[in-house]
Amino acid sequence: MNKEMLKEIFNEIKTRNKIVIHTHERPDGDCTGSAYGLKDIIKTTWPDKEVYVAAETSDFVSFNGTPDVITDETHNGALSIVLDTANRDRVADKRFADADMVIKIDHHIKVDEFGDIDYVDTSRPAATLIILDLFLMFEDELKMTKDGARALFFGTLTDTGRFKYSGVDGDTFRNVAKLYDYGLVASEVYAYLDTRTEELTRFKGYFLQNYSKTENGVAYFKVENEVLERFGVTLEEATSLVNELGYFNDCPVWILMAEYEESIVRARIRSKGPAINLLANGFNGGGHAMASGANLGTWDVAEKLLIEADALVKEYKENQKQD
């Protein structure tokens, strides 16, 4: 935690009358939880400030809140705060750069410095926990409602795999515990995350019967549009099952690939052994050592990813034997 930079961020938020909070494309629980949690803190503390969330949405992340309508004039004289986004190209609304000042707050490995204040803390396993660092550092001045606490908990829970992923430590639990003091009802979040449609349940059965494995132990599944239509599930629902491939003892790396808008193939890559962020970097992606994403473009490139991932796992297993 860099207290001096957090103090700079706090002072900018305190002195600005108009603030626009930005998230990344294809939003997840962490970026939206951070955004709506931060908006709640600012509006609860300073009700007269104009605070907007500029974001995409989906059925899943709508639990955290609804994006605001942003015009070209909204950024005039504003402070932009970009959350959970390592590089400027992935910011959902590129107008963030039109603001008078840009603050970037992120927990991914640094890729692109694009903020006037560029705050990156890779020790935090979720961006929501950086927002909590800021809140708790100035807890005597800042306020939060139960809605803000719920959003921050949602983002933390989803980005840490319910506190299972690397990076979770004592600070994680100490900070999350404070959310209960501000009205968090955790059972509401768990109930939402544990609810699944019958269509997705049937698709999950198909998913678990039709995944594949490479020679050395990369489990993978290709989400095809025809299958989505057959089972009546959305792409977002299907890709949410990525960690169902993470239970196999002989597969330390697993990948879920799918075709997104404009027929662009993307991959979610996960690991419980070898670091995969460099692998993802080689395929126009990036992220954490154990959880990354890649923009593949075509299915032919997807095959190349599988080859390189398989080689990575082979090397990892050979090193494990030597140890």
Domains of the chain with bracketed CATH: 3-193 (3.90.1640.10), 198-322 (3.10.310.30)
Buried b (16+ CB within 10 A) or exposed e, 24-55: bebbbbbbbbbbbbbbbbbbebbeebebbbbb
Strand arrangement, sheet containing 50-54: 50-54, 18-22, 79-83, 101-106, 117-120
Q: Does position 248 have pLDDT exceeding 90, yes or no?
A: yes
Convert the pLDDT of each residue in 94-111 to its tens digit: 999 999 999 999 998 887
Give the pLDDT mean for 231-239.
92
CA distances from 92 to 27, 84, 152, 186, 226 (A): 9, 11, 20, 29, 28
State residue 261's pLDDT score.
76
Closest by CA position to 294, among listed 309, 308, 303, 282: 282
What's the CA gap between 47 and 40, in Å, rounded? 10
Question: What residues form DSSP beta bridges with 106?
Answer: 120
In 46-167, alpha helices (H): 127-137, 146-159
| Selected residue with higher pLDDT from 186 and 290 | 186
Tell me the pTM. Answer: 0.86
Give the pLDDT mean for 26-41.
94
What's the CA gap between 193 and 305, in Å, rounded? 30
pLDDT band at 203 (very low <50, low <70, confident <90, very high): very high
Closest by CA position to 291, among listed 118, 133, 164, 104: 164
